[in-house]
Each structure stands twice: as structure tokens, then as C-alpha cells.
Amino acid sequence: MEDINATIRAHVDITNKEKYEAVVKDLIEKATIPREINIELNAHCECSLLAYHLQRPGTTPLPYIGVSKPLCFACRTLFELYNMHARGFGQIPFDFTGGRGKVYLGWTFLCVDSAPQPVISLVEKAREAMIEKIEDSIRNHVREQVQKKVVSNSVVARLGIRSPQTQALLDEGFERAAKRMGLTLTRERA
């Protein structure tokens, strides 16, 4: 605690104790991350098992990784992409339990720093493919949502529920969103 106080004193020129306490309290509030936002990163056990086997090239593991729960979205995606490229890098693919598609915010990518270079290259290839696949998935989801909104928007417009000014603002917003995603909206004729 003394180090923190010394650091604050070095950067804040306050001699009055009450003002100093107020500054410390303000800094603590600004620096504290609320518990619900503080996400702890961890590698899921199936990824840890994969990393363990990849870093021990002399062993021949059973090519199946099974855990008590289905794989989350990220683990399933990683295993699918790892398996897609494994043989090209001299590695064996692993079978795995099914996945349920649940997304965990604290998921972190596996670390294989002590593995042979071909394994590191394989994991990097899988990571790059994973990022691309997830970005594509997000883009497709957003496109679907925009299309749903455009369809529902045109239905509401046909029914005359919105004022022309409101409709113009909505149309402009949809057009900008579509343009950002490289889409072109077609207008329905009333």
C-alpha cells in the first residue's frame, strides 16, 4: 500500500489530507473493474489436453479427446479447424465429443510455445482460420438480421404505421448499415 501512496504523491500535488483521500478514492473507483466485467481467462480442458499432446511429439496419444460436457463454440471450432489442417503438418486429427455452441467470454486460445515449429505453424493456421470463420459467422448473422429488419420494416411501412419522416430515418439507417457490410438494399414498391 505504501508503494501506491508514494506513486500517487509523486504524481498528484496535494498536501491537504482530505483532498488527498478524495483523489485516492476517485482513482480507486476509476481503476476498479466491476466484478461482472472482470472476466477471468482460461483454457478449457480439451484445449489443454490438445496442447499437452502437441508439446510431446514422442508420444502417441489416443486420437480422441472426451470430457464430461459437450465442447463450447470456440473449442468445437478450434478442433474442427485443427483437424482440417493436422495431416498437412504431420499431426493426427482428434475426434471429440459433440458441441453445443455455447459461447464463453473467458475462453482463451491454447499455448504451445514449447512445441516443435510445425506444430506452432499448425496452431497458428488453425487460429487464423478460426478468426476468419468467426468473423464470417458474425457477418452472416448481421446480414440476416438486417434482412429481417428490412422485411419487417417494409411490412410496417405498407400498413402505414410509421410517419414518412420516421420511415425516412429508418431507411437511411438501414442503407448505411447495409453499405458498411457491402450489401445493397432493394426497395419494395408499394
pLDDT > 70? residue 155? no
pLDDT > 50? residue 170? yes
Q: Residue range 107-127: average pLDDT? A: 89
- Structurally, the chain folds into a number of domains equal to 1
Using one digit for the tens of pLDDT, what is the confidence trace for 11-23?
A: 666 667 777 777 7
Q: Residue range 108-122: average pLDDT? A: 88
Using one digit for the tens of pLDDT, what is the confidence trace for 119-145?
A: 999 999 999 999 999 888 878 877 777
- Tell me the average pLDDT of the chain: 76
Does 150 fall in a domain?
Answer: no
Q: In the chain, what percentage of residues exceed pLDDT 90?
A: 15
Does 172 fall in a domain?
Answer: no
pTM of the model: 0.56
Q: What is the SS3 string spanning 76-140?
A: HHHHHHHHHHHHHHCCCCCEECCECCCCCCCECCCCCCCCCHHHHHHHHHHHHHHHHHHHHHHHH
Does 154 fall in a domain?
Answer: no
* Helical (H) or strand (E) element with 148: helix 117-158
CA separation, residue 112 to residues 53, 79, 91 (Å):
10, 15, 14
Question: Domain residues for 112?
Answer: 45-139
Does 186 fall in a domain?
Answer: no
Using one digit for the tens of pLDDT, what is the confidence trace for 44-62?
A: 888 888 888 888 888 888 8
User: Worst-scoring range by mean pLDDT, 19-23, 37-41, 77-81?
Assistant: 37-41
Does 171 fall in a domain?
Answer: no
Does 169 fall in a domain?
Answer: no
Q: Residue range 82-97: average pLDDT? A: 90
User: Worst-scoring range by mean pLDDT, 17-21, 69-73, 80-84, 135-139?
Assistant: 17-21
Does 21 fall in a domain?
Answer: no
Does 148 fall in a domain?
Answer: no
pLDDT at residue 1, as a whole number:
46
Q: Residue range 71-88: average pLDDT? A: 91
